[in-house]
Amino acid sequence: MNPLLINSARAAAGVGWRFTLCVALAGCATGPNNVQVQLPAYTAPSAGATVRGMVQVEPVREARRDAVGQLVGQRTGLGGMSMGQIELNPSPTVATTAMLQAELKGKGFTLSDAGAPARVATRITRFQVQTPATALYWDINGAIDLEIDATGPGGRQHAASYQVQCTNRTYAWPSEELIAKVLDSCLKELGSRIRADSALASTLAAP
């Protein structure tokens, strides 16, 4: 047998053995405590000097089924064994509100607390992360579903829904940093979908 193939097989077996032992003994985790995941501040591209109007962005409303505060999933090992609930900071509603505000500002809208001629109401219907494991790796799977109702000057209406999914395969322990990276990627993808929605921008824009 080719020596290179033998070495590759031995290396793969070694990774699988270490992975299984790590999960079995929980030696690469602190135990089934809540996993504190900190998202970085969201930034959006700027439209430069373009001014498109004033808009009120209402706080994003929690509409996830069975939502519990800042929890967005569980970190799991082999067989779905829980290694702790994943707690997001800031919360899904706060993080999504910040993303939406940044994207609208980036498109040239001025944000207002009240009395603006345009208004955006938003609901989160899904914001979650899962970490299914095999004997060799973890997949970190994030997903966000968002619904928007926009009302523009003169009563113009626009309703839209956006669904994004993102994943990262890791051969190391799915750390807080890796989970944050996946959820941040989901938020950025969601922001790009909103940025590309020309009907939303047209609805909110001043005449």
The pLDDT assigned to 105 comes to: 94
Are 109 and 52 contacting, i.e. CB atoms less than 8 angstroms apart? Answer: yes
- Return d(Cα 145, Cα 127) in angstroms, integer: 7
For 162-183, what is each residue's pLDDT tens digit? 999 999 999 999 999 999 999 9
What separation in angstroms does the CA of 86 have from each of 69, 127, 168, 177, 198? 11, 12, 16, 12, 35
What separation in angstroms does the CA of 164 have from each of 130, 184, 202? 14, 12, 23
Q: Is the pLDDT of residue 77 over 80?
A: yes
For 45-59, what is each residue's pLDDT tens digit? 887 767 899 999 999
The pLDDT assigned to 32 comes to: 62
